Amino acid sequence: MNANDLGEKIVKTLKTIYDPEIPVDIYELGLIYDVFVNEDFHVKVIMTLTTPNCPVAETLPVEVEDKVKSIEGVVDAKVELTFEPAWTRDLMSEEAKLELGFL
């Protein structure tokens, strides 16, 4: 397996994680800013939350880290939380905007 294949698996997994308050997965919601997979299959996920005081601020990054670590081929995973740039609706996919009635 190469890093690109693993990256695709990671995205598929991220699409199974939902913000409990919004019926859209965190990937389509635009909460995932970047996913890095190095040659040793260590993964770093840079993500944000809809607001810094989001009710799932404590649990969502842990869920992301645990689910990514459980993917076959991933040696280790770390989640880095950032609020730069701040999340806005513009980061949502067209699919998410449609689902939430913003289109």
Look up the CATH number of the domain holding residue 45.
Answer: 3.30.300.130
List, for the chain, all residue ranges whose pLDDT scores fall below the cut of 70.
none
**Integer-rounded Cα radius of gyration of the chain:** 13
- What is the total count of domains within the chain? 1
Long-range CB contact pairs, 53-60, < 8 A, 24+: 55/20, 55/21, 56/19, 56/20, 56/21, 57/81, 60/17, 60/19, 60/26
Q: 60 lies in which domain range?
A: 3-88
Residue 18: the pLDDT is 94
pLDDT at 22: 86
CB 68 within 8 A of CB 78: no
pTM exceeds 0.75, yes or no: yes
Cβ–Cβ < 8 Å for 47, 27: no
Q: Tell whether 103 is covered by a domain.
A: no
**What confidence score (pLDDT) does residue 63 get?**
97
Q: Do residues 22 and 29 make contact, with C-beta atoms less than 8 angstroms apart?
A: yes
